[in-house]
Amino acid sequence: MKRVVAVGVALGVCLGCHDQQRLTAPSRISGDFSDGSVTNGNPHFFFLPPLVGQPSFSGSFNPNIRPVVELCPLDLDATGTPVGCDPLVIPIPLGIAVASGGSEQYELDWDTGLTPIDLTKFYRLQVRVAPGGSALGFADIAPVATGGELKNVNTAQYIGLRDGRILPIKFRIEVGVSCKTTDCFEGTVGAAGGTFVTASGLAGTFFPLGTLTQDAFLAIDRVDQRPCVPTDLPQFSGCYRFTTDPPAQFLANVTVGMCVNAPGLTHGQLDQLQILRFDPNQPVLALPNVPAAFLACDPAHVASRPSAGLGQLARMLRALLLPAELHATHLGVGGSSGSYSVFTWGLPVALTMHDGVVPQLATTGTAVPTAPSVMVTDTATNGTAMPVAGATVTFTVTSGGGTVTNAVAVTGPDGIARVGSWTLGSTAGVNTLTATTAGAVGLTPVFVATGTLPLPLPPPFP
C-alpha cells in the first residue's frame, strides 16, 4: 500500500510513498509505512485519522499499554530509499500516548513547532510498546516549511493542523500484538509493580514495588506445544511464556503463578507441585515455592484480602462464579523467579543413589572401583515411584579435588544415570561427589570415597 500525506506548517508526512514528488529538495523519496492495513504490518495496530483514512479492524481494544511515540532521522541508501532509523542518532521522544476508553484509541498531540526538525532530512514516526521496546508501526515523513494543513497527495484531501502546529497522532492497539493465543495478558508494567493475570485467570505474575526502573511491555501467553519443556520430568497441561519487551533486569524476584488442574494426585503430591522454568540451552530449573494469592484458584486468595462483612462475602461469591476453567480441582501454584522464560508446573522427582552407596576406597589419583550412579523416579502414580527416562543429572566433585568423566549424564529407560568414572584427588583423605537434577526434592545424593596413599615400593634387591 502506497500513501502520501504532506504537512505544511512544520513538516510534510509521507506515509509509504514511493518515488512521489516531494515538496522540498531532494525531489524524490521512497518512503515506508507499516500498520495492520498493509502486508507484513502488525495486524493488531492501526494508525487512525487524521494521519490516514479510517481503517477497518475487528479485534478487541487493549487499554493496558503505555506506548511511546518517537521520531528518528532516517538512513538512506544510494537511491534515496529509507533503510531504517539512523543508528548513530538518538530518537526524539514525542511522549506517551494515552488511551481514550470511549473512542478505543490512543492519542498524543504533537506540537510540531517544538521539535527540532532538519528540513533537509527524512524522519520516521514510530510507536513502540515501551521505551526501547519493539515498534508496533511507523510512518516515514518529509519536513515541509510552508502551509498550515495536511495534504493527502493520493486523494488531494486537506487536513488542518490544530492551532496551525498541533498534529494529533491517533492509533489503535488491539489484544494480540504479541500473543499467539487467546489466553494471554499484554500490558505495561513499571516501577510501581503490580499484579497481572491472563484472560482466563489461569496464570499471572506479581511484580513487587521497585522491581523495574522504567516501563516494560509485559506479555503472558499460553504455550500449546507438548512437551512444554524439553525434559522427561513429569509434565501436565498448563504452560506459559512470560516476557518483557525490552528484556528487563529485575531488581527483585517476581512471582510466577498458575492454576493447575491435578485430578488424581494425593494431598502430599499437591503440596509438592512446583513451577518449572526452561531457558534455552539450560537445564530445567524448579523454582522455590511461594504463594500465588493473586490467582483466584489459590486457597490463600480470599484470605490475602483482609476485610470483613459484605466485601468479604462478595469476594467469596466471585470465587464461586469463576470462569468454567477454575473449578474445584484447580490449585494455585507459585514460584519465585529472578527472570522470565517459559514456565510450566509439575511434580518434583526423587533422586537416590543406585551404585556407590557404601563409601569406597581407592588409591589417590586413581578411579574408584564402582562408578557412582543414581536413579530418578517420579511421585505421580498413586505414590508408586516410577523411573523417569531422559532426565539430565549433573555430577559435581565437591571435595578432594578429583575429576569425573561423563559428568552430565541422561537417565535411560530404567531411570539410571551413571558417571563414566570418578578419579580421586592426589591428597589422601575424604572425597565427595554430588548428583543434582531439575525438580528433585529431598536430600542431595552425596557419594563418599577415601583416597589412600600408594604403598611404598619394596627396597631393591642388593
- Over residues 106-156, the pLDDT tens digits come to 999 998 888 887 877 888 999 999 999 999 999 888 776 554 554 444 444
> Would you state the CATH architecture of domain 349-452?
Sandwich (2.60)
> In the CATH hierarchy, which top-level class contains the domain 184-346?
mainly beta
Work out the average pLDDT over 85-113: 91
Distance (Å, whole) CA 207 – CA 400: 43
Which tops the pLDDT comparison, 399 or 332?
399
Beta bridge partners of 109: 168
Distance (Å, whole) CA 13 – CA 4: 7
Work out the average pLDDT over 57-64: 94
Q: How far is CA 206 from CA 2, 135, 175, 210, 253, in A?
A: 44, 26, 21, 12, 9
pLDDT band at 282 (very low <50, low <70, confident <90, very high): confident
Work out the average pLDDT over 405-424: 93
Task: Give pLDDT tens digits for 338-351.
Answer: 999 999 887 777 88
| 62 phi, psi to nearest 5 deg | -110, 110
Q: What percent of the chain has pLDDT over 70?
A: 76
Q: Has residue 162 got a pLDDT over 70? A: yes
- Whether residue 54 contacts residue 159, with contact meaning beta carbons closer than 8 Å, is answered with no
| DSSP 8-state code for residue 61 | B
Q: Which amino acid is at 350?
A: A
Spans of all domains in the chain: 5-173, 184-346, 349-452
> What does pTM read for this prediction?
0.72
* 235 three-state secondary structure: coil
Strands (E), 162-215: 166-173, 184-189, 194-197, 203-207
Q: Has residue 97 got a pLDDT over 90? A: yes
Which tops the pLDDT comparison, 17 or 289?
289
Distance (Å, whole) CA 440 – CA 181: 31
